[in-house]
């Protein structure tokens, strides 16, 4: 029945949300979820996945040595997420370590270092070359100088993870390296908040970790976003949830975008598990 399709149930689940939500998903078995998938959203820290993609392109081309030292300079400083903002400038580490910090703890200083090193034009050209034609990094992270950071669509963001899943980002080896970084990413509240936590936590339970994600989220005053790959015993699927135009600009765990987004994510998980590896 069309009124009880997965897309219809997702729309019903978030009918009371004060803002606008978009959902894009792929079960990699011919079924997709598409709700406002082509609408442009502020990417916030989700733009960092495309910065990482350009980092690995330049590594593959021999332009950057990932083992070479890179130094945090005062010009890179910015408030927001991450650790480096709390440390003094002058810290030197391998370039690949700053790239990982940009994703794993969403470090804004590390992101500015990557943008400075890679070049905005190069990042945007790579987005175009890979088919992410609605994605653009507008400027470095500077909340006082710029109102926005980057823009993308749920479809573009979903296509990124589809390429990652199929190991099509530069090479199978590089795709696997990138995937490992996204698996270690700390902030996936929207995707997993309503998941059965027992299945996510093998360290405390001692049991097999049946469900895990490889993802990257992003939040600014204008948006709360999350997206990535969800791995289950029945296979894997991609899920992207973007939000905007909500009433509350504050940042906290129980924000309505997080609550409604996590409800939507759990609905997709339950459907996928009930049908043993597919959406429909």
For the chain, the straight-line distance linking the first and the last C-alpha, in angstroms and rounded, comes to: 12
| Within a domain: 147 | no
How far, in Å, CA of 269 to CA of 265, rounded?
A: 6
Question: What's the pLDDT tens digit per position in 87-143?
Answer: 999 999 999 999 999 999 999 999 999 999 999 999 999 999 999 999 999 999 998
Query: What pLDDT is stored for residue 1 in this prediction?
Result: 58
Are 169 and 79 in the same domain? no
At residue 236's C-alpha, the angle toward residues 156 and 178, to 5°, is: 60
Mean pLDDT on 164-175: 97
In this structure, what token pair is assigned to residue 223? 């948006």
pLDDT confidence bin for 157, thresholds 50/70/90: very high
Are 33 and 56 in the same domain? no
How far, in Å, CA of 44 to CA of 267, rounded?
A: 25
Residues of the chain by 3-state class (helix, strand, coil), percent to 5: 45, 20, 40
pLDDT confidence bin for 198, thresholds 50/70/90: confident
| Within a domain: 144 | no
Query: What pLDDT is stored for residue 253 in this prediction?
Result: 84
| Within a domain: 280 | no
Give yes or no for residue 204 having a pLDDT over 90: no
| Within a domain: 255 | yes
Are 35 and 157 in the same domain? yes
Three-class secondary structure of residue 18 per DSSP: coil
Are 109 and 175 in the same domain? no
Are 158 and 262 in the same domain? yes
| Within a domain: 57 | yes
Are 261 and 170 in the same domain? yes
| Within a domain: 53 | yes
How far, in Å, CA of 174 to CA of 170, rounded?
A: 6
pLDDT confidence bin for 202, thresholds 50/70/90: low
Are 164 and 244 in the same domain? yes
Are 126 and 95 in the same domain? yes
pLDDT confidence bin for 194, thresholds 50/70/90: very high
End residue of a domain, out of 85, 109, 137: 137
Please give the radius of gyration of the chain, using alpha carbons only, rounded to the nearest integer. 18
Of 57, 172, 179, 182, the residue nearest 123 (C-alpha): 57
Taken in order 49, 50, 55, 56, the sign of the CA dihedral is: positive
Question: What's the pLDDT tens digit per position in 87-103?
Answer: 999 999 999 999 999 99
How far, in Å, CA of 278 to CA of 270, rounded?
A: 10
Give yes or no for residue 25 having a pLDDT over 80: yes
Number of domains in the chain: 2
Mean pLDDT on 253-265: 94
End residue of a domain, out of 137, 171, 206: 137
Are 130 and 157 in the same domain? no
- Please report, for the domain that includes residue 112, its CATH number: 3.40.710.10
**Burial call 213-245: b when 16+ CB within 10 Å, e when fewer:** bbbbbbbbebbbbbbbbbbbeeebbbbbbbbbe
Are 161 and 266 in the same domain? yes
Enter the DSSP assignment of 84: G
**Structural domain boundaries enclosing 69:** 48-137
End residue of a domain, out of 106, 137, 168: 137
Give yes or no for residue 186 having a pLDDT over 90: no
Query: What pLDDT is stored for residue 4 in this prediction?
Result: 85
Residue 271, phi then psi, degrees to nearest 5:
-65, -45
Of 277, 268, 273, 246, the residue nearest 11 (C-alpha): 268
Give yes or no for residue 42 having a pLDDT over 90: yes
Query: What pLDDT is stored for residue 112 in this prediction?
Result: 97
| Within a domain: 146 | no
How far, in Å, CA of 25 to CA of 27, rounded?
A: 7
| Within a domain: 124 | yes
How far, in Å, CA of 142 to CA of 126, rounded?
A: 23
Mean pLDDT on 132-158: 95
Mean pLDDT on 59-70: 97
Chain position carrying tokens 């749920």? 154
Are 157 and 33 in the same domain? yes
Average pLDDT of the residues of the chain: 94
Three-class secondary structure of residue 70 per DSSP: strand
Are 133 and 208 in the same domain? no
Of 134-143, 192-201, 224-233, 260-269, the range with the lowest mean pLDDT is 192-201
Three-class secondary structure of residue 235 per DSSP: strand
Query: What pLDDT is stored for residue 252 in this prediction?
Result: 86
Length of the chain, in residues: 280
Question: What's the pLDDT tens digit per position in 214-255?
Answer: 999 999 988 999 999 999 999 999 999 999 999 998 888 889
């Amino acid at each position: 029945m069309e009124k009880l399709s997965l897309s219809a149930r997702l729309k019903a689940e978030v009918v009371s949300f004060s803002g606008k939500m978009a959902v894009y998903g792929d079960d990699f078995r011919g079924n997709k979820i598409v709700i406002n998938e082509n609408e442009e959203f502020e990417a916030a820290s989700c733009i960092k996945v495309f910065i990482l993609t350009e980092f690995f392109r330049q590594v593959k081309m021999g332009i950057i040595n990932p083992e070479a030292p890179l130094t945090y300079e005062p010009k890179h400083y910015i408030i927001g997420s991450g650790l480096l903002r709390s440390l003094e400038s002058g810290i030197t580490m391998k370039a690949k370590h700053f790239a990982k910090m940009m994703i794993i703890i969403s470090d804004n200083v590390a992101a500015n270092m990557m943008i400075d090193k890679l070049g905005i034009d190069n990042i945007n050209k790579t987005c175009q070359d890979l088919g992410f034609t609605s994605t653009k990094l507008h400027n470095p992270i500077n909340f006082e100088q710029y109102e926005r950071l980057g823009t993308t669509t749920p479809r573009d963001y979903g296509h990124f993870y589809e390429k990652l899943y199929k190991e099509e980002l530069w090479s199978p080896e590089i795709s696997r390296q990138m995937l490992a970084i996204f698996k270690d990413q700390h902030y996936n509240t929207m995707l997993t908040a309503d998941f059965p936590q027992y299945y996510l936590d093998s360290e405390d339970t001692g049991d097999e970790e049946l469900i895990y994600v490889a993802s990257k989220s992003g939040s600014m005053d204008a948006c709360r976003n999350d997206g990535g790959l969800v791995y289950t015993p029945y296979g894997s699927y991609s899920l992207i949830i973007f939000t905007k135009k909500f009433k509350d600009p504050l940042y906290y765990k129980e924000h309505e975008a997080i609550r409604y987004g996590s409800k939507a994510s759990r609905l997709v998980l339950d459907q996928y598990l009930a049908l043993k590896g597919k959406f429909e």
